[in-house]
Amino acid sequence: MKRKITCLIMCAVSCAMIAQTTGEEAGHTWIDMGLPSGIKWASVNIGANRPQDTGSYYAWGETTSKTDYRWATYAHGAGYKSLTKYSETDGLMSLDATDDVVTSTWGGTWRMPTKEEWAELQTNCDWTWTDDYNQTGVAGYVVASKSSDASLFLPAAGCRYANQFNEKGVHGYYWSSSFFRTSTYCGSAYQLQFTPVYAKSDWNYARYYGSSVRGVCNP
């Protein structure tokens, strides 16, 4: 009887530990990757229903997807010299909530990750490239926690320029909420970029390109 009670307790503790690695915020699933910051990562891209789905593409600071991605169609200025927001003069260093596609689409505490949060995910997890995630034929990175059995998948969704899809299946482009600025230029924002041979969490890329978005939350 004592052994049976002990087994039941161990089973309950084990189940509780498993339950803590996933949960929901505002109806969307998060994964606890065991990161020092405690933030939770979304299980899918914005616009996707399954981990292997690419989801939608967004220009940085825009909250709707579209069919044409160029400076001429960018919501915050028709060129890096004519920006109307997040410019050299307004002093903004990260996205307002009204321009955050994760916040506007999912609500709750969901938001886009910062450049530093992408770096934290990269530093504290093991990243393994696969050409065939769970036999779906989709390429990308399986990101596994170093402190638990939690993992997530980042599909190599490529990016969009004008009306074209570029490098789908071989390259990933994921926006952060942090934008790149110098004393003379602020037409780019930071993003995670990866290929089968590298992943770099602080790449800066022109803001008008259509890229993937993965959310984080603090439930």
pLDDT tens digits for range 106-160: 999 999 999 999 999 999 999 999 999 999 999 999 999 999 999 999 999 999 9
Instruction: Sort strands 198-206 and 214-217 into parallel, antiparallel or unpaired.
Output: unpaired
Q: How much is the pTM?
A: 0.90
CA 216, 119, 153, 31 torsion-angle sign: negative
DSSP string for 22-79: EEEETTEEEE----TT--EEEEEETT-SSTT-----B-TT-SS--S-BSGGG-TTBSS
Residue found by looking up tokens 């009306």 in the block:
163
Sorted by where each begins, the domain ranges of the chain are 2-217
Percent of the chain with pLDDT over 70: 91
- Say what the pLDDT of residue 64 is: 98
Q: What is the mean pLDDT of residues 66-79?
A: 97
- Say what the pLDDT of residue 15 is: 42
- Say what the pLDDT of residue 88 is: 85
CA angle 194–197–203, rounded 5-degree value: 35
Mean per-residue pLDDT over the chain, rounded: 91
Q: Residue 127: which of 113, 110, 145, 109 has the closest Cα?
A: 145
CA angle 195–186–207, rounded 5-degree value: 45
Q: Which helix (H) or strand (E) covers residue 196, if one does?
A: none
Query: Is 179:83 a contact under the CB 8 Å cutoff?
Result: no
